[in-house]
Amino acid sequence: MLRGPGPGLLLLAVLCLGTAVPSTGASKSKRQAQQMIQPQSPVAVSQSKPGCYDNGKHYQINQQWERTYLGNALICTCYGGSRGFNCESKPEAEETCFDKYTGNTYRVGDTYERPKDSMIWDCTCIGAGRGRISCTIANRCHEGGQSYKIGDTWRRPHETGGYMLECVCLGNGKGEWTCKPIAEKCFDHAAGTSYVVGETWEKPYQGWMMVDCTCLGEGSGRITCTSRNRC
């Protein structure tokens, strides 16, 4: 930190006054001369403005300016009076990254999503002195035109269309996911009971016959019933 002087430099002018004295004695003449030498009041060289001066320039109180010291950029602030001015290192400009795909600017360390090539990429502003951006899809799964993060779940029909699958995104650095049949249930409104897929039960039909029913599920809680095995 640098500190500058305040204004108000004064020049003291001393006026030596002398007069002729008779040579009546060396000691007496010397004593009379000493009594007549008196300094004048201080005289100001210039009436300085309130504020600060730096390199010949004047600045108002609380005004800031830039200067260079030993190759370093400084920001100076004028306080005036006996405080003069103080200078501190100029903060470095914050680096940013501009993403042409999103049209947005990000600070170093920011993470965001970038849509590209029908997928969603996870990007991070690295900076590295040139606004570098790093993007990856390793931690995402893309299926059916949708993008999922690790741990996300979704449902889709099995390839045969006979039942529904529940899928979860694993990622594993390769965008992997796994699916398994949904533990679906069927609800029999007549009996007021629910059954899991594959479970069978019997119930009366039209008041005079019994049928065997099976929960198929198929994504809609489908139930099938038959009297084929009964007489």
Residue 104 sits in a domain whose CATH number is 2.10.70.10
- Domain assignment of residue 162, yes or no: no
- Domain assignment of residue 172, yes or no: no
Percent of the chain whose predicted confidence (pLDDT) is above 70: 76
Give yes or no: residues 12 and 46 share one domain.
yes
User: Contact at 8 Å (CB) between 174 and 138?
Assistant: yes
User: Contact at 8 Å (CB) between 147 and 119?
Assistant: yes
- Domain assignment of residue 222, yes or no: yes
What torsion do the CA atoms of 57, 58, 61, 64 make, to the nearest 10 degrees?
A: -30
Give yes or no: residues 85 and 8 share one domain.
yes
Q: What is the pLDDT of residue 114?
A: 95
Residue 202, domain extent: 185-226
Give yes or no: residues 61 and 117 share one domain.
no
Q: Please report the DSSP string for the chain in residue order.
A: -EEEPPS--EE---PPP------S-HHHHHHHHHHH--PPPPEESS-PPSSEEETTEEE-TT-EEEEEETTEEEEEEEEEGGGEEEEEEPPPPPPEEEETTTTEEEETT-EEEEEETTEEEEEEEEETTTTEEEEE-TTEEEETTEEEETT-EEEEE-TTSSSEEEEEEEETTTTEEEEEE---EEEETTTTEEEETT-EEEEEETTTEEEEEEEEETTTTEEEEE-TT--
pLDDT one-digit tens code per residue, 160-204: 766 678 899 998 888 899 998 776 788 888 878 888 888 889 888
**162 or 156: which carries more pLDDT confidence?**
156
- Domain assignment of residue 154, yes or no: no
Least confident of 18-22, 89-93, 204-208: 18-22
Q: What is the pLDDT of residue 45?
A: 34
Give yes or no: residues 21 and 82 share one domain.
yes
Cα separation, 140 vs 118, whole angstroms: 13
Give yes or no: residues 118 and 73 share one domain.
no
Least confident of 11-20, 131-140, 176-185: 11-20
Give yes or no: residues 6 and 33 share one domain.
yes
Q: Please report the DSSP string for 96-140 in residue order.
A: EEEETTTTEEEETT-EEEEEETTEEEEEEEEETTTTEEEEE-TTE
**In the block, residue with structure tokens 């533990």:** 183
Q: What average pLDDT does the chain have?
A: 77
- Domain assignment of residue 212, yes or no: yes
Q: What is the pTM of this model?
A: 0.43
Q: What is the pLDDT of residue 181?
A: 78
- Domain assignment of residue 148, yes or no: no
| Cross-strand partners of 84 | 80
User: Contact at 8 Å (CB) between 75 and 90?
Assistant: yes
- Domain assignment of residue 192, yes or no: yes
Answer with the one of 55, 89, 123 that is the final residue of a domain. Answer: 89
pLDDT band for position 32 (cuts 50, 70, 90): very low
| Cross-strand partners of 98 | 105
The number of domains in the chain is 3
